[in-house]
A and B are shown apart, each in its own frame.
Chain A
Amino acid sequence: MNKFESEIKTGNFVTSECIDCNKIVWPPSDYCDNCFMEVNWRRVSPNGKLIEWSKKNNSIFCIAEFENTIRVIGKLDSKNVIPKPGQLLKFISCSLKDQY
């Protein structure tokens, strides 16, 4: 299990970030994809925006963007309001299914 997965497993949504050029390295990696320096791991800001969404079996899934860079697909709790791309959203929780 890598650092990203171990953090996700404990509920921390983290990203890798270059220690030298400060670039957010996403999807997570052990080295910067710009300068190949090492990365730090830090929590992602919970404030994001909605890029797109759809629905399966009454459960909404969406692409959310955080820090203008980090895009993930996740479950959206829209509180019975029809979602709109561009709207603000907040990260609530994450987990990792046990594969190991």
Chain B
Amino acid sequence: MKKVAVVGYGNTKFTKDELPIESLLLESTKQVFDTTKNLSQDLIDGVIVSTNDNSKYLGAILSELSGIKPKISHTVEHLCSSGSSAVISGFSYIASGLADTVLVTGADKIDNPGQILEWDKSRGEYNHPIYWASMFTKAHKRQFSTTDEELAIVSAKNHKQALDNPNAYSHKPYTISEIMNSKNVTDDLRILDCSYSCSGSSSILLTSEENARKFTDEPIWISGIGQKTNSASFTKNQLTKLSSTIVAANAAYKMAEIIPQEIDTAEIHDAFSVCELMAVEDLGLTEKNTGASYVRNLFNTEDRKINPRGGLIGAGHPLGATGISQIVEITQQLQNKAKKRQISNAKKGLVHNMSAAATSSTVIVLES
């Protein structure tokens, strides 16, 4: 299997703007061309789009708009983890030798249809994500005595970290008290404990080891990948652990031949505050039942290790772009180019992206 590197990237600002999906896709793709040395259209032989948008044939459309005539082009849809799933498709094409250099671009619009899984009739009329998030939160409070304050710390931390992310949807800091007193979405969920669907686009350029240094002096290697799908329906889920994440993380660590304690920084899927508390435990970054104290310590010491770009809560959640934007952040961190967000001496990073209440998860390990 060939080694695969991230050698270029682009990221639009995440906004409430209602832009055409094609324009969004092109915007972050243009940035890849603007910022990657020696890149020309003829060097790209794969174009993969990730989105939940209903528009068709977007791989080919983005290729045409970008002047690329790739061997491979298609769209990947996997709800909230469409982006990381598309990256794994691109990785696989290169690792297998089917392609040399692949552009992966994800985008969604603020009104994207990926938030509701119509098929899942077991959710009844309660098909919006706030309902599963409320169940997760209630069950977490019950089992681990988690408090509203501990949940609010996740949001306070990620909103604060997003202040230094120029592409973030939110540039407003919130106190723990403001978050705890924000509007009740349900009795167990505050509005500021939720990520927001928004418009945005992110791109990365992947290539093989033999090409990597043509495009960058600092290739970032994808060293570990793990994925797991348990179901599509929410109601089969366990409520106090992300079991698909546990499996995916173990596979990614095994492939990368590392242990969780070696991870210097991670972008994790904080769709709701409770998800971050669960994920830091289930990714093995801290012991079970210590997620809240772990995140509180990060907040109190201003340690940006987890979700340095602000996570989904701070940066926003344009579904098809999210997984790719997470990889862009970790790439910048490992290249020491994250500016005010920079984690000191980061060598190994992790991306955690999941769908539909963790019915499926993707974990990717990156290394400099």
- B: residues with CB less than 8 A from A are 120-126, 131, 134-135, 137-139, 142, 185-189, 233-236, 239
Docked-complex contact A63 and B186, CB < 8 angstroms:
no
- From residue B271, how far is it (CB to closest CB) to chain A in Å? 16
Distance in angstroms from B254 CB to nearest chain A CB is: 29
Contact indicator B122/A71 (Cβ below 8 Å) = yes
Cβ contact within 8 Å between A54 and B187: yes
Closest residue of chain A to B240, judged by CB?
A52
Q: Are B122 and A85 in contact (CB under 8 A)?
A: no
Q: How far is the CA of A63 from the CA of B235 in the complex (A)?
A: 7
A72 interface contact, C-beta 8 A: yes
Knowing A63-B235, A71-B236, A85-B142 are in contact, say whether A54-B134 is a contact too (CB < 8 A): yes
Give the size of the chain A interface in residues (CB under 8 angstroms).
21
Q: For the complex, would chain A's binding face be called helix, strand, loop or mixed by DSSP majority?
A: strand
Distance, CA A28 to CA B233, complexed state (A): 11
Nearest chain A CB to B55 CB, angstrom units? 22
Chain B residue with the shortest CB-CB distance to A94 = B124
A56 touches B187 (CB 8 A): yes
- Indicate if the CB atoms of A4 and B124 lie closer than 8 Å: no
Interface residues of A in 69-100 (CB under 8 A from B): 71-74, 85, 94, 97
Known: A27-B233, A52-B135, A53-B138. Contact between A61 and B239, CB under 8 A? no
Contact B186 A73 (CB under 8 A): no
A5: Cβ under 8 A from any B Cβ: yes
The residues in A between 1 and 50 inclusive whose CB is less than 8 angstroms from any CB of B are: 4-5, 8, 26-28
Please give, as numbers and ranges, the residues of chain A lying within 8 Å of B186 by CB-CB distance: 54-56
Q: Which B residues touch A56, using CB under 8 A?
A: 134, 185-187
Q: Say which residue of B120, B126, B137 sits within 8 Å of A61 (CB atoms).
A: B126
**Bound-state Cα–Cα, A53 to B142, Å:** 11
B131–A4 CB distance below 8 A? no
Rounded to whole angstroms, the CA-CA distance of A51 and B187 in the bound complex is: 17
Other CB < 8 Å A-B pairs besides A54-B186, A73-B135, 19 of them? A27-B121, A27-B122, A27-B233, A28-B121, A51-B239, A52-B135, A54-B134, A55-B186, A55-B188, A56-B134, A56-B185, A56-B186, A61-B126, A61-B131, A63-B135, A63-B239, A72-B235, A73-B123, A94-B124
Bound-state CA distance A56–B239 (Å) is 19
Q: Give min CB distance, B186 to chain A, whole Å.
A: 4
* CB-CB nearest in chain B for A55: B187
